[in-house]
Structure 1
Amino acid sequence: MCLAMQQDGLSAEQAASRIYLIDRPGLLTSRMDGLQNYQVPYAKDPSLVESWRSAEGKLGLAEVVANLHPTMLVGTSAQTGAFTQAIIESMHAACERPIILPMSNPTELAEQTPANILSWTQGSALVATGSPFGPVELDGTTYRIGQANNALLFPGLGLGTIVCRAATISDAMFLAGARALASLADPADHTKGLLPQVSQLREVSATVAVAVVQAALDGGLNRVDVDSPIEAVEEAIWSPSYVPLHPH
């Protein structure tokens, strides 16, 4: 996510400043002991967030959402119900179409159910989950819930890598595949969901693979020449076709 924002023109520091990490102690700040190396760039200056604390001295998810007014919420906590109604409604009050992604699995550990998220935002939230959830019926509209599954990205990533015989899989190739997948989303069509269905994996993988090949070519990582990424991917995809057998 940070690298994607850098591709869009932000510096590494600017991108990191827009990401707030909440762990068991609450919002990660630079004065905390035991921060992991990968957490340090995102730890906030305590002096800038001290006023966010609740009357009880808490500086957790609820306090951060109420003061920061974020546009996206990503849950990987495995804490059932961590995205409370108050948190979701606070987020929606400041953002017309919040992106809310309860990614924990299995299903019973999801931070919140899509049905509740959509109900609390009057159907406005953009929702995808880490576990499978069925469609949600709300006020006469059916919302299909997309599952953010590795299967939507990795087959295309592997195919693109094989097609161009990339020397390595770069961050740029990952991001190109992710952006290609995102291009297939249609937030305005509730019946499709925020992500394609796994049943569309063949078409999705081809789209991702083409983008991955192009990113490898742009980065000089290809070990074979590829004149047309689209044609190369189409030629590499195996199609299961069987010749009819006629008994003698």
Structure 2
Amino acid sequence: AWTDGRALIATGSPFAPVTYKGVTHVVAQVSNSMLYPGLGLGVVVSRARRVSEGMLLAAASAVSSLVTVRQPGASLLPSVDNLRNVSATVAVAVAEAADAEGLAKVKLGDVVRQVQGAMWQPEYRRILAC
């Protein structure tokens, strides 16, 4: 009641949504997993030899672009259930920032396609017993 429902909450552990005065508030789960897989992937795709402040800012901006904070009760961060998409979005932003800053060591074309091509696909060949 101290903030009358205006507090912005994010925790390290998952919590159920909270309803206050008829508005359901999603409690964001804060984790470096929102940023670092995409940051690393963007560096791999661009082959940058260092991570600049601009690349970090691009990563943070990419994460924030995936939430709708104007919606009452909205989460401060994307859901961890959407981590693969978050990572891809961050990677594209990081690779583009590296390219814009002259840090990319390869020519970037279709960055979205390059990021998708570099992502690990959790698929395994079927093994048949003999």
TM-score for both structures, normalised by structure 1:
0.48
Residue 124 of structure 2 is matched in structure 1 by 242
| Code of the aligned partner of 1:151 | S
Which segments of 5 or more consecutive residues in structure 2 lack a partner in the other structure? Answer: none
Query: Is residue 2:85 matched to residue 1:203?
Result: yes
Residue 14 of structure 1 is matched in structure 2 by none
Which segments of 5 or more consecutive residues in structure 1 lack a partner in the other structure? Answer: 1-118
Report the CA distance between 1:120 and its aligned residue. 2.8
| Code of the aligned partner of 1:132 | S
Whole-Å separation in 1 of the counterparts to 2:112 and 2:119: 11
Whole-Å separation in 2 of the counterparts to 1:189 and 1:239: 36
Q: 1:159 aligned to 24, 41, 51, which one?
A: 41
Q: Deviations over 1:163-214 (max 9, x none)?
A: 1100210000000000000111212152x51101222111100000000000
| Farther off after superposition, 172-181 or 236-245 | 236-245
Residue 144 of structure 1 is matched in structure 2 by 26
| Code of the aligned partner of 1:242 | Y
Q: What SS does structure 2 have at the residue aligned with 1:120?
A: coil
Report the CA distance between 1:246 and its aligned residue. 5.0
Report the CA distance between 1:143 and its aligned residue. 1.4
Report the CA distance between 1:148 and its aligned residue. 2.7
Q: Deviations over 1:19-61 (max 9, x none)?
A: xxxxxxxxxxxxxxxxxxxxxxxxxxxxxxxxxxxxxxxxxxx
Q: Which of the pair has more CA radius of gyration?
A: 1
After TM superposition, the structure 1 = structure 2 runs for residues 1-248 of structure 1, keeping only pairs within 5 Å, are: 119-129=1-11, 131-134=12-15, 135-187=17-69, 188-190=71-73, 192-245=74-127
RMSD: 1.9
TM-score for both structures, normalised by structure 2:
0.86
Q: Deviations over 1:137-158 (max 9, x none)?
A: 3234321111232110011000
| Code of the aligned partner of 1:167 | R
Whole-Å separation in 2 of the counterparts to 1:215 and 1:121: 38
Q: What SS does structure 2 have at the residue aligned with 1:137?
A: strand
Q: Deviations over 1:111-138 (max 9, x none)?
A: xxxxxxxx43332333323x22512232
Larger RCO: 1 or 2 (CA < 8 Å, sep 6+)? 2
| Code of the aligned partner of 2:13 | P
Identity percentage over the alignment? 44
Q: Is the 8 A contact 2:23 2:72 kept in 1?
A: no
Whole-Å separation in 2 of the counterparts to 1:124 and 1:152: 24
